A and B are shown apart, each in its own frame.
Chain A
């Protein structure tokens, strides 16, 4: 069995809309594991999951502590915890927010890079501030692939710009291209 690819994706402002572009394109033959961290206000969190689930052809949900990471699944970080990868499963922490965020994109990306090395693709979507930049650099440092949503079309260009400062040779894609890329697995 060839090891599956691990896609880690993070964003904040505007990223929920981005997911509605990306997730419906994923077919039931999806062969990677996709792990998503979004920063969001508490009020949103109730409404987010049902919408995503309805639009999804593969199993999607909040992982529980120590759940295995499986190909063909989409995992979403629940609010208020950092979601980490440890060996072949998920781990949680309630450490303080990083860059004002919990879940932190950096925390997920860094732990994914350390575990899955060149099997990881990190994708930084639209968003404010700079969470994700350090994590994307860690992914690149472990020979993974780095993708950044084009700051020109991103609703929040803070995150894409910070990610490009940290990883100048990251691939810059439009949201449509990112959706096609993810769906190609």
Chain B
């Protein structure tokens, strides 16, 4: 065996070790704390775990496992880091244009509405929708459930405080998304922050919910589950799709992220696409 071959064997052994360590860590977390990441998509999960190893300055994934079994605050930090999802308000303006055109008219026909943001992270998408509902004059008819696995993100979302540096981008996005009113109507600024108007979120219930282990808890006219399923493997995606389907009204609307699709689940026949590109689906059975 020449030197190069030997090197490649060593490299691949190291890689396999990390995969084993990840599996053991996830099993440990599940048994000790009940959080089930075992069916998350492996590559992005491993990258995040390796970043946590770096941030926590531990020697290895195994070392992280040993500590996380005994340290609930480390588990909390792990959860925060794992759930980091960097997004913005009115991200994908085309989606909001399409939502306004195709979904708003359906919503306006109803007297009472329930909307679920499954995996709301730090709330940017929820506030985007609240602003849209406010502009369309139906915000008083809507009850919104915004849920996430991570309490820290939920707390941030509930406060509705965002960096003023993001406001320029949000404003541009809002205009591109067909915003009719000045974006500055919806927040107060102070101390380098933009604070979202309180009355916007009066009808929002912020709650912890785990799509992997918790059951359906209500029936909704619209469910947003954008850029959440990308973190799950195919088996788990299918399971969560069942939960989403069970949680929709008969003609409810399901909205997925831009690169996500129903294709991999057994629920394809249950929906018709209102906008295939923007991933807006309506339940038909």
A and B bind: yes
> Are B261 and A94 in touch, CB under 8 angstroms?
no
| Cα(A80)–Cα(B227), bound, Å | 11
Q: Which residue of chain B has its CB nearest to the CB of A84?
A: B43
Selected from B11, B15, B84, the residue in CB contact (under 8 A) with A96 is B84
- Asked whether, in the complex, the Cβ of B41 is within 8 Å of the Cβ of A91, the reply is yes
How many chain A residues touch B (CB < 8 A): the figure is: 28
Given contact pairs A78-B259, A143-B8, A93 touches B230 in the complex (Cβ within 8 A): yes
From residue A144, how far is it (CB to closest CB) to chain B in Å?
A: 11
Flag B23-47 by CB within 8 Å of A: 1 or 0 each: 0000000000000000001111001
**In chain A between 66 and 124, which residues have their CB closer than 8 angstroms to a CB of chain B?**
66, 78, 80-82, 84-86, 91-97, 102, 107, 111, 114, 117-118
Number of chain B residues close to chain A: CB under 8 A? 30
- CB-nearest residue of chain B to A80: B91
- CB contacts (< 8 Å) of A64 on chain B: these are 259-261, 263
Is A153's CB within 8 Å of the partner chain B?
no
**Taking the nearest CB of chain A, how far is it from the CB of B17, in angstroms?**
13
Query: Within A49-66, which residues are at the interface with B (CB < 8 Å)?
Result: 62-66
Tell yes or no: B264 within 8 A of A by CB: yes
Whether the pair B91, A65 counts as a contact (CB closer than 8 A) is no
A141 part of interface (Cβ distance < 8 Å): yes
Q: In the complex, what distance in Å separates the CA atom of A102 from the CA atom of B15? A: 25
> Mask for B1-29, Cβ within 8 A of A = 1, else 0?
00010011001100100000000000000
Interface residues of B (CB under 8 A from A): 4, 7-8, 11-12, 15, 41-44, 47-48, 84-87, 91, 227, 229-231, 234, 237, 257-261, 263-264
**Measuring CB to CB, which residues of chain A are less than 8 angstroms from any residue of chain B?**
62-66, 78, 80-82, 84-86, 91-97, 102, 107, 111, 114, 117-118, 141-143
